[in-house]
Amino acid sequence: MADAPPPQPPSGWNFAAMAGNVVQFLRLPVLASGGLAVLASGMLYFKQNELIYPRNIPVDARTNVPKPSDFGMADFEDLRIPTPDGEVLSAYFIRPSNKKIKPKVTILMFHGNAGNIGHRVPIAHMMEQELNCNVFMLEYRGYGFSTGTPDEQGLKIDAQTGLDYIRQRAELQGTKIVIHGQSLGGAVAIDLVAKNQKEGDIKALLLENTFLSIRKLIPSIFPAAKYVTRLCHQNWLSDEMLPKITTVPILFLSGLKDEIIPPDHMVRLYKLAKSTDCVWRTFPNGQHNDTVAEPGYFEYIHAFIVEEVLD
């Protein structure tokens, strides 16, 4: 499917300047994703989680978490949210800066496998300005200031905890929930939406540069390791979960120069999708972590949410 020209942004938005802030923080975490190649080349089975969830990259990622106020955002809450299994998750709840219009959308953001939520605050800043929406940024267990140790089952509990918090917060009653996931966060988002779509309050899913499954990703970035993928106990079977999503519209955002996850993974996920409303958008120069800074990124999201969520 050919991409349509990007919709024009509302007058007055300086997307290029704000996108530069996003890339400034996301260029460091991209280095960590290469750890999967090390895993694929024969690292010990028990070191797998350390490589798939490199929450200590960059080196101060557990102690230095930028706040929304560092980017001029005043109306936010720095939260600590308990999980059912005893962990405490760090999160930012960000309200839109435009107080004249009541927000109709709440975006729940899931980030990639390195860094912390603070590195993605500029993305949330652009989201709240462009869409006049609330943004809820959840920190996985073992990342940033969240307690615990990350693994697949734990991150699934974290995601459900974040969604339940939005559902239970009185201020957010009646807002339309949109789930956004980048890279590993895409796998987290797919699993969450597949398990919660029946409630009807999730109105859209945004997927960016994510993968079919961990086992299918490893041979793509290190072909010689195809015989050891059976050692993976972290699966993230997005190729099995995505077809279960049938009632939630999905926007696929694919950087065609993704150096970590082959763009073919996104293509195949798009072909597997069973939702009645799926939109495919590509970015010819988009790499794994800087697709967000490519022309048209936020405009595509704006147009999709206006048409699929707010219409």
Q: Which residues contact 284 (CB under 8 A, 6 or more apart)?
A: 256, 257
Distances (CA, A) of 296 to 5, 171, 218, 235: 8, 31, 30, 32
Instruction: Give the pLDDT score at 64.
Output: 95
Distances in Å between the Cα of 176 and the Cα atoms of 53, 108, 245 are 30, 11, 17
Is residue 207 within 8 A of residue 190, CB to CB? The reply is yes
Neighbours of 304 (CB within 10 A): 21
As a whole number of angstroms, the distance between CA 242 and CA 238 comes to 6
Q: Coil, strand or helix: which one is 100?
A: coil
Is 305 within 8 Å of 253 (Cβ atoms)?
A: no
The pair phi, psi for residue 129, each rounded to 5°, is -75, -45
**Residue 264 is a catalytic residue:** no
pLDDT given for residue 246 in this prediction: 97
CB 169 within 8 A of CB 115: no
What phi-psi label fits residue 132: left (phi over 0), alpha (psi between -120 and 50 degrees) or beta?
A: left
Burial of 156 (0-12, 13-18, 19+ CB in 10 A): middle
pTM value is: 0.88
Q: Given 119, 265, 288, 302, which residue is catalytic?
A: 288
Catalytic residue among 180, 258, 290, 302: 258
- CA torsion sign, 178 to 253 to 138 to 25? negative
E strands in the chain: 76-82, 88-94, 105-110, 134-138, 176-182, 202-208, 250-255, 278-283
Largest CA distance in the chain: 58
pLDDT value at residue 217: 87
Amino acid found at 208:
E
User: What pLDDT was estimated at residue 219?
Assistant: 76
Per-10-residue mean pLDDT of the chain, 311 residues long, equals 38 47 48 46 61 89 96 96 98 95 96 94 94 97 97 97 98 96 98 97 98 87 61 89 98 96 97 96 96 95 96 79
Q: Of the candidates 290, 304, 211, which has an alpha carbon nearest to the alpha carbon of residue 251?
A: 304
Please say if 69 is a catalytic residue. Answer: no
Determine the 3-state secondary structure of 55 from DSSP: coil
Residue 258 bears catalytic tag: yes
The correct answer on CATH 3.20.20.30 for the domain covering 15-310 is no
* Active-site annotation holder among 33, 146, 183, 238: 183
| Residue corresponding to tokens 């206006």 | 306
